[in-house]
Structure 1
Amino acid sequence: MDPRSEVLLRQAELFKGPVLLAGLPADDLLGSLPDARAWSWHAGDQAALEARFAGRSHYGVEVPPVAFDGAVLFLPKSRDLANYLLNALASRLGGRQLYLVGEKRGGIEGAAKQLHAFGKPRKLDSARHCQLWQVTVDTPPEAQPLESLAQRFELPLAEGPLQIVSLPGVFSHGRLDRGSALLLDNLEQLPVGHVLDFGCGAGVLGAAIKRRYPQSRVTLLDVDAFAVASSRLTLAANGLEGEVIAGDGIDAAPRELNVILSNPPFHTGVHTNYHASETLLKKSADHLKKGGELRLVANSFLRYQPLIEGALGNCMIRDEGQGFRIYQATRT
């Protein structure tokens, strides 16, 4: 069981009623708290929770429309996202308890200071390298519409400026990361057809592809509900059409693709996790048409070339700079 869940269960008497668990891991916690409900924004966790605890977990970017007497937020990596989630939960909890749990190395002590906006917080427990905090919401805030917290920026592309809409918690929130910038400079001569933007984030690559290759069909895929919402806002802001789907990894993607384009993730919260990226590379041939192309950017220290060669039989370094490489391979 996740150590954060173990800390909660040390105080299990506090969570016997209808409590909402926000951002919880996909472990046995719901089984130990039969009256609890879950709110997840990670498609993989949601699928696992739904399979084991059907009907008790909600996936999305807004507080689920269910009744609850208290709420626990599992601290996310992003401070901006934590602000949004705490505000959203506290707005529903006037006079009741809001809890915050997280790992010490994830910044739980600093994040607990954010609870002062709602009342006087107190630390309930410290164990398993985690802490559990509680606050009675004396001053419930007005709920902030998520879109009001979006950051917008413009990319000056050759085809015209592209508006990017980024929501809290999304990768490289409010700015263009160096890896994606390098990949944007390497979009020439892509096959026309069905293009997948894997790990789409705010939709930068997918929107740029649709702008440059308007005859192509674009699908954007991400595990994170906030990224999915961001990508839809980015497409709408530019009057572009595209399918945006939530799913955990390449298994959720369409097949018979002409192009897989990606700046693949390798972090989950505060932890390093290469599984989604390595699975993408190993299974790329299953999703590409014959003659289809994989083109991605990755940190230079990541040994992706052998994985790509193992899957597709070829791989070239198309470009590199600022610690990144562009890999290109074709399904023969």
Structure 2
Amino acid sequence: MTDLALARPGVYGHPPADLVEVPDGAVQLSPLVPGAAALEELPPGVLAGATVLAPPGTLERRYTLALALRALAPGAPLTVLAPKDRGGSRLSRELSGFGCRLDETAKSHHRIVRTVRPDEPAGLDASIAEGAPQHLSELGLWTQAGIFSWNRIDPGTALLIAHLPALSGRGADLGCGLGVLARAVLASTKVTGLALVDNDRRAVAAARRNVEDPRVTLRWADARAVDAVPERLDFVVMNPPFHEGGAEDRALGQAFIRRAAAALRPGGTLWLTANTHLPYEATLAEVFREVTQRAAAQGYKIHEARK
């Protein structure tokens, strides 16, 4: 057991400060915080305590809980919370299945479960194996539960690929996910470089295995950050996110559009796919000289924008 871990409990995700207390100096453990430590890389028994904002997906949630229990010292405290309609109602049953004795409360539409690590938790290896990176033969891709569209090709991405011309020069894929869109872009031999950027470390790791091409660079970063994307690009492609913390946030996609415009050279192009209801047209018109809708089908739309 390391002194560092004993002195600094782990925090996974972003637990709401008004619902649980997080000790000063706690180590951030999250795949969605660029630069944060990786929960799965911690040796068994090194944490003196942990607070976990549990993910909504069943496989990802059980994987995270199992990793947290594995990393905790026997008898160390564990606090887990989640919105009751996004996995919170299942926390008690899942933690009980690992052999934990529970104290459950409810506050602000969240379920909060406090427990301690049993001496010998049950079923950790099975849950960790189920949520670990895997190769899906039906997709022909490496993936992991919790990544956006982890077990299917997103329809918006598929529509963009169907209408994407052969691109050329240097470009970027913002919010690259598994690398599905990047693989289509790289089919053009005129592409000389492609920067893949995603704020999900698991997605970047999967894309590294799915897109083995010397023209590619990968970065675990928030694409909205000033230094996250190369400058004076010839093109940008993207299927930007529009949810944060489980709630729709249209400002996310708008920020991606502005970042793409800032990264492009004059005359460079953005190819964007988005859900039909998202109001991105005003933002596109604000930062691009020419905007054309190229397709609309199955609840999605494709825009080409020229700087």
Taking structure 2 as the reference length, what is the TM-score of the superposition?
0.84
Equivalent residue letter for 2:174: F
Mapped to 2, the partners of 1:142 and 1:244 lie a distance apart of: 30
Mark the CA change 1:37 to 1:152 in structure 2 (over 3 Å): closer, same or farther: same
Mark the CA change 1:264 to 1:154 in structure 2 (over 3 Å): closer, same or farther: same
Kindly provide the CA deviation profile for residues 52-101 of structure 1, in whole angstroms up to 9, marking residues without a partner as x: xxxxxx33463446931222211123322212211212223363233311
1:182 maps to 159
**Which is worse superposed, 293-302 or 61-70?**
61-70
1:22 and 2:5 correspond: no
- Alpha carbons 2:54, 2:64 under 8 Å: kept: no
Partner SS for 1:91: helix
2:3 maps to none
Mapped to 2, the partners of 1:29 and 1:64 lie a distance apart of: 26
- Alpha carbons 1:19, 1:37 under 8 Å: kept: yes
Kindly provide the CA deviation profile for residues 117-173 of structure 1, in whole angstroms up to 9, marking residues without a partner as x: 321442333222222113333333338468854242456xxxxxxx32211210011
Equivalent residue letter for 1:150: Q
**Which is worse superposed, 175-184 or 205-214?**
205-214
- Alpha carbons 2:11, 2:22 under 8 Å: kept: no
**Which is worse superposed, 173-182 or 130-139?**
130-139
Higher helix share: 1
**Which is worse superposed, 211-220 or 299-308?**
211-220
Kindly provide the CA deviation profile for residues 205-256 of structure 1, in whole angstroms up to 9, marking residues without a partner as x: 11221233464311111111121112112124xx665111122233321111
| Structure 1 counterpart of 2:65, from 72, 80, 86 | 86
2:125 maps to 142
Identical residues among aligned pairs (%): 26
Mapped to 1, the partners of 2:155 and 2:133 lie a distance apart of: 23
| Structure 2 counterpart of 1:76, from 55, 65, 70 | 55
- Alpha carbons 1:76, 1:269 under 8 Å: kept: no
Mapped to 2, the partners of 1:285 and 1:36 lie a distance apart of: 37
Mapped to 1, the partners of 2:54 and 2:146 lie a distance apart of: 12
- Alpha carbons 1:78, 1:169 under 8 Å: kept: yes
1:316 and 2:300 correspond: no
1:59 and 2:37 correspond: yes
Question: By how many angstroms is 1:274 displaced?
Answer: 2.2
Equivalent residue letter for 2:203: A
2:29 maps to 39
Partner SS for 2:157: helix
1:296 maps to 272
1:209 maps to 185
> What's the RMSD between the two structures over aligned residues?
2.9
| Structure 2 counterpart of 1:195, from 146, 166, 171 | 171
- Alpha carbons 2:81, 2:112 under 8 Å: kept: yes
Mapped to 2, the partners of 1:230 and 1:322 lie a distance apart of: 27
Partner SS for 1:329: strand
Equivalent residue letter for 1:19: P
1:244 and 2:218 correspond: yes
Taking structure 1 as the reference length, what is the TM-score of the superposition?
0.79
Question: By how many angstroms is 1:105 displaced?
Answer: 2.9
